[in-house]
Structure 1
């Protein structure tokens, strides 16, 4: 009785139960202050450029219009709405726009996570989960489409889990979340896949007499969610687009975010995993069978692909919350009606954040990291008016943003497994013959490679190639018949 009364008092008092708000405010401020950290990925550049193309043409892309190697090939963007949002924000506020947009989405995701957990767990336990989730997600929190989908993912899965906790089917008001997610990022397929195991969890824990009707209601919801997931400009093709990513096979391990977890050095993932195992052993935590399978499935994804660590970090607490609340204590009951004082507090906080954002953006310059922006090299390259440039993978986004057709860029699903693997082997000289084959096959006029790359250093020794520009970031070699190598010794690519 005492606990119930205390929770009711905390929920009714306007100044209490606001942990999710403060979590959101703190995380927003953190990522705003570290805004340039959100712009370190070169893919941000081409994402904004695609969004600008859609604004100009009032259409979504159906074919590639950027590269010279794949121009005209079928290509759809399952991230079109996020790209549009980034482009609009950039048009309004320069680089401050994407930073604020991404920081707001990140803050919203963690505020939603904290709100879900706080209704089931104590404040201290909620903060532990939030801190662990933040540590695991930071490496992949960038101004890219997936970040805008994070709050939708948390809200969607949180809604499914809450329904399973009540031994009920999810309400149909969740369906607009699936439609929104499907237009923001291709990861919406995971949201559809999770319906079945969460439904099974609800059914297995329901009373025997209610199971048949519960199965039917979850099935209807699942079909409705599938329809909602097809409510995109591309229809059901959006569902198939994710298959192209998974079909990249040998290309995926070559992309940093798709590599398996590396425990060669101590990192946040290992620390959180070991602490979680230790706590479970110490407290004797017990979970229902389907919750165990869900947790193990998310863990497998995180171990197999580094980028899935954020999914584990944000969704595992949702899965654990209800079972843990029965074993280590419950949280604060949700207030049935928002009080005027609380609404005023929310409005006041929002106004303060807006004013602080404008003030900070007026004195701080946000810009992409220079390591992925070969500014001087591309300026020199554009003077040559060339159409066939062999570029480093990380430079593709900058080339697209500056109107230069790349050989390859971050749209790996467009280029396919073999093309990507061949390019990687060529630029890294794992297979030097690939470099010369690709240069000849695609009639390359110049190369734009990282100055420290093996391919750039090799071309210094090759007759017929002239180094015309080099700085700390990028080097340009121009194909020039009769040009003698500039660095000893000479290397003959035709030699066997």
Structure 2
């Protein structure tokens, strides 16, 4: 019962994040999923823009797109938000399952999860990375069973099925293959686990083969590399870790502490998985939440030492009310979020201004507004959205210059009938005094200009 209570204490954290949709990817992914469901096939060319319309398009999260599209049909954006909150809750549950397997205390596990939730909450947006969080934890659970020899017969096919599901929901499954490879190396390296080496090698072969069971086959590996190269220097989460950022460094340090603990315990699975995640996090901060989720079970089990437990027990009169108060505060925040669950961030997105776009208009828009326009107005075409692999970093950066009002704007806006950008942008300020453009609609999030 104590473990169930620890999990219930984390559910409000997932609901808080569901209160507002702030990630531009979410919106075009819903529309892409709806298109897949309607046509019965995965789109192969771009249908949403006028700048690269008809260009070949590889979807690295087609399964997740269909998942959120189904939730959208059932409950529109609140349905999408709640479905993704459920995925976050599953990830929290798997952290607790792994902590219990490592001999942790339920009370310590629930407390540490709640204390570290501020580090994680911003990463729990409605995106396919939620699938990665679940799949990585599930993979580590299976590998732990495999190395310990608990259940070899069913673990190998389970790893295969997990990989197939993962790679079709999100191409992040390739990270799992890397973790299996690192585990296999460590298992063969240590004499006490070497007899499990063939099993791990089998898991690696199965996972590698099953990662190819997707609509694009081996091409998905090239696509993943292309996404990374197109996003580096453009999207913050693809940047290397910034040592001056205290939140990011806290996540990294917690991961490195867990790595040291796992290595000292000779836990080859957690050592390999955390080690791979740590290296990846240094090069791209989007892996940091995976690193922290993997680190938490190790840290919780380390903190569940009998001395610590005795200390907490002796001071339960102080700590228990504090824990209850903390959970109550989070629960109240979650209830408040439910009042606007699935609401697009009003600071970024304006439904009223988007609805004012003339039918079939070719829109020049800011990077963050592209996905929202695609979902709300499928009859119009955007100039850009967050599919960096489709547009390329050069076009993304060039569009940002135009948004800043730099260059020959008349030339840069050739082909566009409408402009939808934030009011504070240099482009909006330039068009306000430009006789060729008429301000049609505006609010604090966006301004819509129509070519005269």
**Range class of TM-score, shorter chain:** 0.7 to 0.9
- Cα displacement string for residues 272-325 of structure 1 (whole angstroms, at most 9, x for unaligned residues): 5557778999x9983659766754542343243332111111123467788x59
Residue 199 of structure 2: SS of its match in structure 1? helix
Gaps of 5+ in 2: 308-334
- Which moves more between the two structures, 469-478 or 66-75? 469-478
Cα shift at 1:428: 2.7
Residues 30 and 236 (structure 1 numbering): CA distance in 2 closer, same or farther, change over 3 Å?
A: same
Report the Cα distance in structure 1 between the residues aligned to 2:33 and 2:191, rounded to whole angstroms.
46
- Partner in structure 1 of residue 443 of structure 2: 471
**How do 1:30-429 residues align onto structure 2 when only pairs under 5 Å count?**
30-32=13-15, 34-37=17-20, 39-123=21-105, 124-127=107-110, 130-131=113-114, 134-165=117-148, 171-207=156-192, 211=194, 214-248=196-230, 251-264=231-244, 266-267=246-247, 269-273=248-252, 286=264, 288=266, 295-317=274-296, 324=302, 328=305, 366-382=342-358, 385-386=360-361, 388-401=362-375, 402-403=377-378, 404-429=380-405
Contact 1:428–1:454 (CA<8 Å) still a contact in 2?
yes
The structure whose Rg is larger is 1
Corresponding residue number in structure 1 for 2:310: none
TM-score w.r.t. length of structure 2: 0.81
Q: 1:220 and 1:436, CA in 2 relative to 1: closer, same or farther beyond 3 A?
A: farther
Match of 2:428 in 1: 456
- Gap change, CA 1:329 and 1:239, over 3 Å in 2: farther
**1:140 Cα offset (Å):** 1.3
SS across alignment from 2:50: coil
After TM superposition, the score normalised by the length of structure 1 is 0.75
Q: Is the 8 A contact 1:451 1:457 kept in 2?
A: yes
Structure 1 448/280 Cα, relative in aligned 2: closer, same or farther at 3 Å?
A: closer
Shift of 1:415: 0.7
Structure 1 residues 311, 363: CA separation in 2 closer, same or farther (over 3 Å shift)? closer
Q: Any conservation in 2 of the 1:133–1:310 contact (CA below 8 Å)? A: no
Moved more, 389-398 or 124-133: 124-133
* Residue 332 (structure 2) aligns with: none
Change (3 A) 1:233 1:372: same
| Residues 450 and 475 in structure 1, CA contact (< 8 A), matched pair in contact too | yes
Aligned residue pairs, count: 420
Alignment partners' CA distance in 1, 2:262 and 2:290: 25
The 1:445–1:33 alpha-carbon spacing in structure 2 relative to 1, beyond 3 Å, is: closer
Residue 34 of structure 1 deviates from its aligned partner by: 5.0
Rate the CA distance shift 1:156–1:437 in 2: closer, same or farther, 3 A: farther
Task: Give 1:446 shift.
Answer: 2.3
| 1:366 Cα deviation from its structure 2 partner | 3.8
Determine helix, strand or coil for the equivalent of 2:356: helix
Report the more deviating stretch, 369-378 or 85-94.
369-378
Q: Which has the higher contact order (CA 8 A, sep 6+)?
A: 2
C-alpha deviation, 1:119, in angstroms:
1.9
Structure 1 Cα separation of the partners of residues 251 and 286 of structure 2: 16
Contact 1:137 1:310 in 2 (8 A): yes
Measure the CA separation in 1 of the matches of 2:383 and 2:429.
19
Alpha-carbon distance in 2 for matches of 1:362, 1:280? 37
